Structure 1
Amino acid sequence: MLVLVAGHAASAAPTANVTHAQLPFWPTAEPDGVQAPEAELADGITGTVLWSREANTPVPIASITKVMTALVVINAGDLERNVTVPEGIIAYDREYGASTADLVPGEVLTTRQLLYALMLPSGCDAAYTLAEEYGPGQGAFIAKMNDTARQLGMAGTHFSDPSGLPDPTDYSTYSTASDLVKLGLRAMNLPVFREIVGQQNYHLAAGPGNREHDWRTTNRLLRDYPGAVGIKTGSTDAAGTCLLFETVRGGLPMIGVVLHSSPDSGAVAAADAAHMLNWVYDPILSVLPIGP
């Protein structure tokens, strides 16, 4: 099955839109109804590109940035480290009207718990806290993010903030659809990351150093699309609504991204992803005796 999908895509140029002639198994040359001006869909094992649109155009990526933040932290290790939430989250969140995990300065959580706070409710307070701890400090942590991007060959990417907020400008943090698929592939190969982003919710009971928290994912694909296993939403005025996603259906993993699907609707980004995924999966699942 995996050979079937990758084999049809093997002759396609990694950065070009795949044509009908290059994918004879597919009834149409490209997915219909995709609103995102920048997008890419790839085999979730090899990274072979199946379809793309303006995949090398750098654009703002909003909170998809947090995938890199999580990757840097997980690579550093010590996920059971106790981390104190700093006072700085208050001004940081207020300046940008940022999404938060409702953390309170002085709370003590483990790094692993903060990763759930980062990835599910898209907590910018968690991103700030992790950057302070693992930089140490914002500047040192952002340098690590950019170093990791270079190591991954993400030539069209730059980070200026651990959350993807417009600091100092709307376009200071940017990436490309192609680079984000590379990032997603790397992150999803880490079991702890994959476990976290695959959860729809996470409950943290109150403890000696922390309040009770209930965090729910912002990724509606996890609820609405069969086989969805992650990854991360994003939304700012400049980036619009974005979604980096992975699914596994019939044993076939697919990974992709849509950027600026809509000015403000996460449902449109999720619909874009579904259009892309159905374009690949429907012809296969309709003729082969495998589950959904």
Structure 2
Amino acid sequence: MSLKKIFCLAAAACLTVSAAVFADTPQPPEISAHAAYVMDADTGDTLYTKNADDRAYPGSTTKIMTGILGVELGKAQGKMDQPLNITSDVYNIESDASVLGIDPGDQITLRHALTGMMTVSGCDAAIAVAKTVTPTQTDFVAKMNEKAAALGCTNTHFANPHGLPDSNHYSTARDMAVIAAYGMKMPEFRDMVSHSEYDMPYINGGSKHCTTTNYFLTSGFPGANGIKTGTTNAGGPCLVASATQNGRTVIAAIMNSDDRFGDAQKLMTYGFSVLKPVEPAENVYILRQAPAGQTLSDIKEKQAQAAELASQQKQETATAAASTVGAKASAKTAAKADTAKASQPYVPFSPAA
């Protein structure tokens, strides 16, 4: 076979392999959203990005942070199952804003009000939640911004707990995905955002039926389990969606989309198709008999620290022992010298002339 023919066959083989590789590589979807960000919620890996750091009005996806703080502060203060603090401030919102429909005097626990708020996107409930866990809305908003900064969301600033337009209220697709991923690690929050239908009970009897605004939950997408919609004239239709398949969670944040639920399905499908396998690691397993939240890596680190301390103590002990032996040897030598001196005849001291 000629060298030229061999070269041609090799080139053809390479092209065939390359074509097969490209054919197996998922292609990023075409979406209508101005901005989107898809992440592996378990590892934090970026799976898809489009204008992910462009600032935009997040609308009611703001309530993701409101829900997170409602749970964290509510639990810390022992208020999750205590009555919501509903004041006349719940009426101080735009007439066309989405509401849960609560009034001063209604008896609803913080836990149930949070779930109702996240289901129907109740702006009135967001105000009541803020005033239940902090003295004022201003205090609550300050904590929202503190939390965003702590999560590394440097392109986010909140001006209110509900997301109605404000020139100083903005976020990005990336930041909203990060905030949502944090929330989905909290069992209470994860439950609150998972309801397509919810009958919110009143403490003194009766309930209010709530239907979700998040149609991704009822889209039939496998594993769909949250999170929140948002729509304003300034920011357009937004959505932060979550799904879990085979123990892996993917989150997609979508900003200003003409087809947010369709975009969500495309992005989620793509996200799951490009997930990297996660190698078993010690720090993903929680010990049954260990203190809450402690991992094998924690134990290993503490064991290493204990071993190092023990080694230092052993070295110190050895040094001390060596010093003791040396001291004893010196004493013994001195004793021998004294004995030798004692065996010599006594010579009186005579000062020099």
Using structure 2 for the length normalisation, give the TM-score. 0.67
**Among 227, 250, 258, which residue is 2:254 paired with?**
258
Q: CA deviation at 1:282?
A: 5.6
Q: How does 1:175-254 map to 2 (within 5 A)?
A: 175-208=171-204, 212-224=207-219, 225-254=221-250
Q: CA deviation at 1:82?
A: 1.5
Q: d(CA) in 1 for partners of 2:135 and 2:206?
A: 25
Q: CA deviation at 1:108?
A: 1.8
Q: How does 1:95-174 map to 2 (within 5 A)?
A: 95-166=94-165, 169=166, 171-174=167-170
Q: Could you say which residue in structure 2 is the equivalent of 1:36?
A: 33
* Structure 2 residue ranges without an equivalent (≥5): 1-20, 276-353
Contact residue 40 and residue 256 of structure 1 kept, 8 A: yes
Aligned residues: 250
Q: CA deviation at 1:47?
A: 1.3
**Among 66, 74, 78, which residue is 2:63 paired with?**
66
Distance 1:205 1:141, change over 3 A: closer
Greater share of strand residues, 1 or 2?
A: 1
Using structure 1 for the length normalisation, give the TM-score. 0.80
Q: Could you say which residue in structure 2 is the equivalent of 1:289?
A: none
Contact residue 239 and residue 259 of structure 1 kept, 8 A: yes
Q: d(CA) in 2 for partners of 1:257 and 1:226?
A: 18
Q: Could you say which residue in structure 2 is the equivalent of 1:4?
A: none
**Among 257, 262, 270, which residue is 1:271 paired with?**
262
Write the deviation string for residues 18-69 of structure 1: whole angstroms up to 9, x where unpaired: xxxxx9685344112x111110111121110011011111110000000101
Secondary structure of the residue aligned to 2:188 is helix
Q: d(CA) in 2 for partners of 1:59 and 1:179?
A: 11
* Structure 1 residue ranges without an equivalent (≥5): 1-22, 263-267, 285-292
Q: d(CA) in 1 for partners of 2:54 and 2:232?
A: 18
Q: Work out which of the two has the higher radius of gyration on C-alpha atoms and give 1 or 2.
A: 2
Q: d(CA) in 2 for partners of 1:135 and 1:84?
A: 10
Amino acid at match of 1:84: N
Structure with bigger RCO (C-alpha 8 Å, 6+ apart): 1
Secondary structure of the residue aligned to 1:234 is strand
Distance 1:259 1:179, change over 3 A: same
The percent of aligned pairs where both chains have the same amino acid is 32
Pairwise CA RMSD of aligned residues?
A: 2.0
Contact residue 108 and residue 201 of structure 2 kept, 8 A: no
Q: Could you say which residue in structure 2 is the equivalent of 1:16?
A: none
Secondary structure of the residue aligned to 2:128 is helix
Secondary structure of the residue aligned to 1:233 is strand
Write the deviation string for residues 103-128 of structure 1: whole angstroms up to 9, x where unpaired: 12211211101101210000111001
Distance 1:151 1:207, change over 3 A: closer
Write the deviation string for residues 80-122 of structure 1: whole angstroms up to 9, x where unpaired: 12223211212x23x3521011112211211101101210000
Contact residue 26 and residue 273 of structure 2 kept, 8 A: no
Write the deviation string for residues 120-140 of structure 1: whole angstroms up to 9, x where unpaired: 000111001011122211111
Contact residue 61 and residue 175 of structure 1 kept, 8 A: yes
